[in-house]
Amino acid sequence: MPKSHTGPDLLGKQVNVPTSPEEAELDRVENPHPDVRYLARFTAPEFTSLCPVTGQPDFAHLIIDYVPGKWLLESKSLKLYLFSFRNHGAFHEDCTVRIGKDLSALLDPVWFRIGGYWYPRGGIPIDVFWQTGDPPAGVWVPDQGVPPYRGRG
């Protein structure tokens, strides 16, 4: 699990990209509207990690949705955390679920989900989905908007 902070510890500062998810720091800030149920979304269309077997790069389009409770995710720390996977060897499933679990543990959200839409490796695309339960009633949860992989067919 990465280090975590309450308050924007990285915001407005020049920082180096962490070399691993364990070295990364995640910041959270207080939600100014904890009494309102709404959905926040982060989209990372250029996520990369390494295949743990071949060392070749893997690419994914990540969609992170959550209904905040007391905390919001600070976006610069998220960017640096996701960059830290560039030299990290792990399978698609491990990366996607790990990110989801790390962020969910940091934020303690009302609801959380992550969709990892991975580009084909060996001719097979792999999509990985993880969530903490059913979304709360009355919250609009839009489709993640990533079409299924169709290739040239």
**pLDDT tens per residue, range 3-30:** 665 666 666 778 888 999 999 999 999 9
Tell me the β-bridge partners of 41: 65
| Parent domain of 118 | 3-7+21-131
Q: What pLDDT does 102 receive?
A: 98
Would you name the residues annotated as active-site residues? 51, 58
Mean pLDDT over all residues of the chain? Answer: 92
The tally of domains found in the chain comes to 1
Confidence bin at 147 (pLDDT 50/70/90): confident
Residue 52 lies in a domain: yes
Rounded distance, CA 78 to CA 144, Å?
19
Residue 68 domain flag: yes
Q: Which residues of 2-34 are buried (b: 16+ CB within 10 A; e: fewer)?
A: bebeeeebbeeeeeeebeebeebbbbbeebeee
Express each pLDDT in 36-90 by its tens digit: 999 999 999 999 999 999 999 999 999 999 999 999 999 999 999 999 999 999 9
- Does 15 reside within a domain? no
Within a domain: 61: yes
48 part of a folded domain? yes
- Quick check: is 33 in a domain? yes
Q: Would residue 75 count as lying in a domain?
A: yes
Note whether residue 146 is domain-resident: no
Q: What is the CATH classification number for the domain harbouring 97?
A: 3.30.1130.10
